[in-house]
């Protein structure tokens, strides 16, 4: 239902995903993503006002290697949609959706921290769960779970200014 | 010792009262239960800027889930929100079952529902107890934690552990409710009723408490929705969104309960919503106990559920079955699924991806309090330093869930 509506609106930009488990899934190229998301949020037919979750999956052996996964929910119409945006391994970046849903602020920071995906247009893209001098991105499939990190120098909190929100 | 440059350069004439002071509150602060750091810029006691640093309790939940079988992920889920571990267990089990495409027997659903609601009450008791202690009401904290002990006794009677329950499995639960569960829960609810009525009398019209909570930490509904806040925090702002009503799972569509709502979205509303939710949970449990049928507590598919011990020890099929399931794990068909339940803190969702092997390819948890923490600096900027304590208490950050 939702997918047909979206397809009639965007024609070639929307590829239906695996809906065999009763969930609505679409795949959108990253160039069109922000435009699609804007309609999904603002059009009263969709009214996806709630960004439930934003994460990524690393398909190490496939190309495009990364998939950013947006789980959307409409508190108005009580329906859900999953949007997936594939990203090639060479340049893993996606457009930030912070301007549409503020929840994306921390979710995109986490995704950047864990997968090294750059969110263009994010106002404050820095690590969130890991520390700044952490090497690598732990949730990538080629990061060994038992890898050791180099020791880091002690940082004097007095001489180093605090990170601040914008 | 030489002073840092930015202090040494201060001229004599500058008035300290005009200065913006930078302080770091945390990561181990006696008034914040949970390891978290606030980088604050203060003008007097007013918060000019605030940056919330999380991640101190990061234990690589999602990474470690990819290393074992699906069943081996259950102990990790206990350690997400450790104030209500049964709900995490249930949420993960439901997600994996949805991915496989199986449905559990009726009794299993009721058992899961009852334990989820017991956990919701323990979670709210923890949150309210700690929050009231931080504003000076230590008596209430001890009352509420005492009531929580009665419920933990119940959890222990069912699962064998108080916190690290690891009690759900793909396709069922490990233990049924004990035979005397009804008597036990009636007894526990009697003490809970007394405690809640005492706590209500001690707090709801208490001048000190109301002054610290009412009108503090307000967050309007539209902003809360944009920040992805769910659960009691969103309902305190007046938005009627509860996963148990919006997308009923288990047997929530067969029980009758109300969704308590607030109006202003301040800390007092958040407190009240949680308080009334405990009474609703009690109602749900009582109805579920009446409706619960007899029957098996797990599905009988040998590819998913471990065979009974008699078969393992006495037949080669049973032994092989057991061996294959333990070593290789449940073979979950390739695909992906998102399943959400109403956790004590809000929408708790699992996004699980399988590549068809016995191990998860990706397990993602949607942590409700992580998103609430993302909005915390917006709630706090412009408010007073002591407001951090009550607001942070009402957000009920659980380190294990927020940092994973």
pLDDT in tens, A150-163: 888 887 767 776 66
B-chain residues within 8 Å CB-CB of A157? 24
What are the tens digits of pLDDT across the range A97-115?
Answer: 999 999 999 999 999 999 9
β-pairing verdict for A25-27 and A15-16: antiparallel
Measure A103 CA to nearest chain B CA, in Å.
Answer: 4
> What share of chain A has pLDDT > 90, as a percent?
28
Is A33 in contact with A15 (CB distance < 8 Å)? no
CA distance B165 to B402: 20
Measure A63 CA to nearest chain B CA, in Å.
Answer: 16
Chain A to chain B, count of Cβ pairs less than 8 Å apart?
112
Instruction: Say whether B373 and A103 touch across the interface (CB within 8 A).
Output: no
Q: Is B53 on the interface with A (CB under 8 A)?
A: yes
- Check whether B210 has a pLDDT greater than 70: yes
CA distance B281 to B287: 10
Q: Is B364 on the interface with A (CB under 8 A)?
A: yes
- Check whether B230 has a pLDDT greater than 50: yes
CA distance B137 to B203: 8
- Mean pLDDT across chain A: 86
Measure B286 CA to nearest chain A CA, in Å.
Answer: 28
Handedness of CA A103, A109, A112, A114 (dihedral sign): negative
CA quadruple B343, B115, B269, B254: dihedral, nearest 10: 90
Q: For residue B170, give the nearest of B85, B254, B112, B245 by alpha carbon.
A: B112
Instruction: Give B102-123 as a DSSP string.
Output: ----HHHHHHHHHHHHHHHHHH
Q: At what angle do helices B138-159 and B181-203 cross, to 10 degrees?
A: 170
Instruction: Give A15-84 as a DSSP string.
Output: EE---TTS--EEE--HHHHHHHHHHHHHSTTT---EEEEEEEEE-TTSSS-EEEEEEEEETTTTEEEEEE
pTM of the model: 0.89
Residue in this structure with the two tokens 């499939």, named with its chain if needed: A141
Q: Which of B60, B227, B361 sits opposite A138 (nearest CB)?
A: B60
What's the confidence (pLDDT) of residue B295? 87
- Mean pLDDT across chain B: 87
- Residue A99, CB half-sphere, CA atoms under 13 Å: how many? 12
Instruction: Say whether B351 and A55 touch across the interface (CB within 8 A).
Output: yes
């Amino acid at each position: 239902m939702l997918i047909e509506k979206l397809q009639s609106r965007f024609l070639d930009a929307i590829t239906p995903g695996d809906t065999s488990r009763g969930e609505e899934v679409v795949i959108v190229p990253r160039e069109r993503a922000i435009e699609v998301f804007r309609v999904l949020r603002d059009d009263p037919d969709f009214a996806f006002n709630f960004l439930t979750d934003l994460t990524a999956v690393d398909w190490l052996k496939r190309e495009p290697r990364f998939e950013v996964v947006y789980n959307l929910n409409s508190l108005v119409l009580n329906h859900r949609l999953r949007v997936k945006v594939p990203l090639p391994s060479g340049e893993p970046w996606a457009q930030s959706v912070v301007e549409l849903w503020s929840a994306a602020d921390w979710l995109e920071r986490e995704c950047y921290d864990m997968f090294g995906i750059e969110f263009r247009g994010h106002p404050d893209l820095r690590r969130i769960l890991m520390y700044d001098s952490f090497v690598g991105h732990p949730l990538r499939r080629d990061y060994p779970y038992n890898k050791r990190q180099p020791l880091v120098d002690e940082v004097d909190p007095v001489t180093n200014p605090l990170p601040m929100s914008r | 010792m030489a002073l840092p440059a930015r202090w040494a350069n201060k001229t004599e004439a500058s008035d300290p009262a005009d200065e913006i002071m930078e302080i770091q509150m945390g990561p181990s602060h006696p008034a914040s239960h949970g390891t978290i750091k606030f980088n604050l810029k203060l003008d007097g006691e007013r918060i000019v800027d605030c940056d919330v640093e999380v991640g101190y309790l990061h234990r690589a939940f999602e990474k470690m889930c990819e290393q074992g079988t699906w069943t081996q992920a259950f102990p990790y889920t206990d350690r997400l929100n450790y104030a209500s571990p049964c709900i995490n267990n249930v949420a993960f089990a439901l997600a994996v079952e949805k991915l496989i495409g199986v449905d559990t027997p009726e009794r299993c659903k009721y058992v899961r529902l009852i334990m989820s609601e017991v956990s919701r009450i323990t979670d709210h008791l923890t949150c309210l107890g700690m929050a009231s202690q931080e504003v000076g009401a230590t008596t209430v904290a001890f009352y509420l934690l005492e009531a929580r002990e009665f419920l933990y006794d119940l959890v222990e009677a069912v699962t064998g552990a108080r916190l690290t329950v690891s009690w759900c499995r793909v396709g069922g639960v490990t233990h049924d409710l004990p035979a005397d569960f009804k008597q036990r829960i009636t007894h526990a609810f009697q003490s809970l009723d007394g405690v809640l009525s005492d706590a209500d009398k001690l707090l709801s019209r208490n001048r000190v408490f109301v002054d610290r909570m009412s009108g503090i930490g307000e967050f309007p509904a539209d902003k809360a929705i944009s920040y992805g806040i769910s659960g009691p925090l969103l309902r305190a702002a007046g938005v009627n969104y509860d996963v148990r009503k919006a997308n009923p799972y288990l047997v929530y569509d067969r029980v009758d309960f109300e969704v308590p709502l607030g109006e202003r979205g301040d800390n007092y509303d958040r407190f009240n919503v949680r308080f009334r939710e405990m009474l609703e949970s009690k109602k749900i449990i009582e109805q579920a106990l009446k409706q619960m049928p007899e029957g098996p507590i797990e599905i009988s598919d040998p590819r998913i559920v471990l065979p009974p011990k008699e078969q393992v020890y006495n037949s080669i099929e049973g032994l092989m079955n057991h061996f294959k399931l333990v070593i290789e794990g449940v073979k979950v068909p390739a695909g992906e699924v998102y399943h959400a339940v109403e956790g004590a803190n809000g929408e708790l969702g699992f996004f699980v991806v399988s590549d068809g092997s016995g191990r998860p390819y990706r397990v993602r948890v949607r942590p409700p309090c992580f998103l609430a923490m993302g909005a915390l600096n917006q709630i706090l900027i412009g408010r007073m330093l002591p407001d951090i304590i009550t607001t942070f208490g009402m957000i009920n950050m659980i380190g294990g869930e927020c940092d994973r």
